[in-house]
Chains A and B, each alone.
Chain A
Amino acid sequence: MEHYNMNLTLKVWRQQNAQVQGSFETYQVKEISSEMSFLEMFDVLNEQLIHEGKEPITFDHDCREGICGACSMHINGQAHGPWAETTTCQLHMRAFKDGDTIVVEPWRAGAFPVIKDLMVDRSSFDRIIQAGGYISVNTGNAQDANNLPIAKDKADESFAAATCIGCGACVASCKNSSAMLFLSAKVSHLALLPQGEAERATRVVNMVDQMDKEGFGSCTNTGACEAECPKGISIMNIRRLNSEYIKAGFTGTLAK
């Protein structure tokens, strides 16, 4: 596609911290290249703000190559903007045209309180992982690679689930602020492997418990999470999570 430049109006959420109310500020950016990434456009805007003696906009980012999951932005009503299976850092300005107005908001969820501007606190995800998203193994010499036979289809499914980058777009897109897609990916990737077998039942129970404590909602299967997930995690994992939970429940793990 032809390269082009564009002038844009940005409405960006500004908020000092979690304690105070925030509001939208409107900014103009000029001569933005269609080849820039969305975050580069924000860098230009921040440079501009610094030159004007104003405070730059705080936003999360790290890898800028679609693998860390940090770049949370709700752009024109969609997590990570209009492109499917794309993080904000991989969204490019050719998704927009000259004269567009773009509204940028932080993830909105009680369990993801705003730290500042567009940056939210996603440590609730970390605590869910700490509650059971691991396997306990004794370290030592690396095992022979083929010690544990794993069927190809199981390995593939597990790997697909493991591609979840913990970005929180699923929560941000869900009308219930449910973390079920994230949790289902984490539970599935271990439940499908022999290494995950030992803690299989306690894992799902403890992780669901923690998810509820953190204040995420119930899943009502609207599918918004799957549509907005940058890694294309399937809601078939939520089916598996439900089934793992039911099995754990009726075999007595929940009794404790």
Chain B
Amino acid sequence: MKKIFTSSIGKKLVMGFTGVFLISFLIVHCYINALVFLPNGIEKYLAAGHFMGTNFIVRTMEVGLMAGIILHIVQGLMLTVQNRSKRPVAYNVAPGNKSSKWYSRSMGLLGTLILLFLVLHLTHFWMPNRYEQHFGTGHEINLYEKMELVFQNPWIVLVYVLGCISLAWHLIHGFWSAFQTLGLYTPKYAALIKGIGMAFSIIVPLIFIAMPVAFHFGWLPPSSSYVPAH
């Protein structure tokens, strides 16, 4: 077992495992976001948010998620740098797009863009929320109201849209690539995996984009329209 996660293939196994783990997180995150578009969306959304923010099991998994993201980022950036160092003298005429897709060669760059977005995103919602819970009022903040406020700013909406587009390209390569790395991209399932991967990589980021855009243009009911029943 000594080298299973440190050899050239091992490093990719780390990327694959953490990548799939992050994909599973996206499914949950995306599902909860989509709740705001349903009837009684505010109530449904806040209830789901409350569960995610207070349930012991979810909060424990949150630690795992953080570790997974950090591992994915650190390993991803190291891999990018190490792989680049394997060609000390560059080609004068580079192969370019003749033999591979630009986004498959740009996973480090796309990941870095996602990371920049992620930092901003966490400071908008996750950090103030946890701060209030543990060091402030002891209660969660109203994330719906918070979003309404944050997404007034068109520049922030733009950054969110660009972040989600980066995620889409990252996943269009990353989804099937993870299955290939983990040895699961067999001929029998190849077309299915590519198909699901493509659909996932487009639909999920679109749902993410829909939220800040809808808030910005006032397409969602105002938070003041919802009065919690006590």
- Please report A residues at the B interface, Cβ cutoff 8 Å: 11, 13, 24, 74, 76-79, 103, 105, 108-111, 173, 175-178, 180, 205, 208-209, 211-212, 215-224, 227-228, 235-236, 238-246, 249-250, 252, 254-255
Contacts and interface: CB of A to CB of B under 8 A. Distances in A.
Given A224-B99, A239-B180, A208 B104 contact: no
Contact of B95 (A24, A176, A224, A241): A224
Given A109-B87, A236-B190, A254-B3, 13 more contacts: A77-B94, A78-B95, A108-B90, A173-B95, A176-B86, A178-B8, A208-B9, A221-B177, A223-B101, A227-B99, A228-B99, A236-B187, A244-B183
Nearest to B102: A222
Interface residues of B, number: 46
Contact of B4 (A11, A77, A173, A249): A249
Given A109-B86, A242-B183, A211 B100 contact: no
**A interface: dominant SS:** mixed
A149 B224 CA distance: 75
B92 A103 contact: yes
B29 to A, nearest CB: 25
B44 interface: no
29 contacts: A11-B92, A76-B93, A77-B95, A105-B91, A110-B85, A175-B83, A175-B84, A175-B100, A176-B84, A177-B87, A178-B83, A180-B8, A209-B3, A219-B12, A219-B181, A220-B83, A221-B173, A222-B100, A223-B101, A223-B104, A224-B99, A239-B180, A242-B9, A242-B13, A245-B9, A246-B183, A249-B3, A249-B10, A252-B1
Interface in B62-94: 79, 82-94
B60 interface: no
B228 interface: no
Contacts of B94: 77
Contact of B93 (A103, A209, A219, A223): A103
Interface of B: 1-4, 7-13, 79, 82-96, 98-101, 104-105, 107, 173, 176-177, 180-187, 190
Contacts of A245: 9, 183
A108 B89 CA distance: 6
A219 to B, nearest CB: 7
A222 B89 CA distance: 20
B177 A218 contact: no
Nearest to A74: B91
Contacts of A76: 93
Given A103-B93, A242-B9, A242-B182, A173 B99 contact: yes
B182 A108 contact: no
A14 B4 CA distance: 41
B99 A223 contact: yes
B175 to A, nearest CB: 11
A111 B86 contact: yes
A214 to B, nearest CB: 10
